[in-house]
Amino acid sequence: MTTSDMSDDGEPTRRDFIHIFGAATAAAGAGAVLWPLVHQMNPDASVLALSTKEVDLSAVPEGQAIKVMWQGKPVFIRHRTPAEIEEAKSVAIAQLKDPVARNANLSGTEEATDENIVTGASGEAHEPWLILVGVCTHLGCIPLGTSAGESRGDFGGWFCPCHGSHYDLAGRIRKGPAPENLLVPPYQFVTDTVVKIG
């Protein structure tokens, strides 16, 4: 401020107050106009509802699997038997085509051990429950092996008949053209029998 903008006692004048008040009012008005424009760019409620999905697993018997949809993609949830868990644990990393777990709940560099694949967002492994995005990593087909009686390929997990990719009981690619293991989506157990995906 210059000395002409101040009164004789060094205080701001009435004109200064009017300018400050006018600028503050204009800023508030601009905010009131811009807020709805910015807010309309947020995802709508139906999109937010699809970002997560809760699944009750209490009705899935041991040895069976279900398929649910999450964000437009199938997710396979398998309730593995103790024998299936032991078989998945017995596979050496050196035998795997893709040695990385591909688990969104981990940092992304962990080895494809069974424990790393069944670890959720809490960092706790839930051995009986295998949760995978059901999209073949070769060309995006949906592998078979969710329903009882379906062919599960050479390794007891999933089989993609389109190009012959075989996945084991931990969703790891073992044979065929697929370059990577099936992806593990972000998930956490809300209770012992309810899992939230996303």
Cα 72 to the center of its chain, rounded Å: 12
DSSP 93: G
H helix or E strand, kind and range, residue 47: helix 45-51
Q: Which of 39, 79, 126, 163 is labelled catalytic?
A: 163
Distance CA 123, CA 23 (A): 52
Q: Which residues contact 134 (CB under 8 A, 6 or more apart)?
A: 67, 73, 74, 75, 76, 142, 143, 146, 158, 182
Say whether 166 is catalytic. no
The catalytic residues are 163
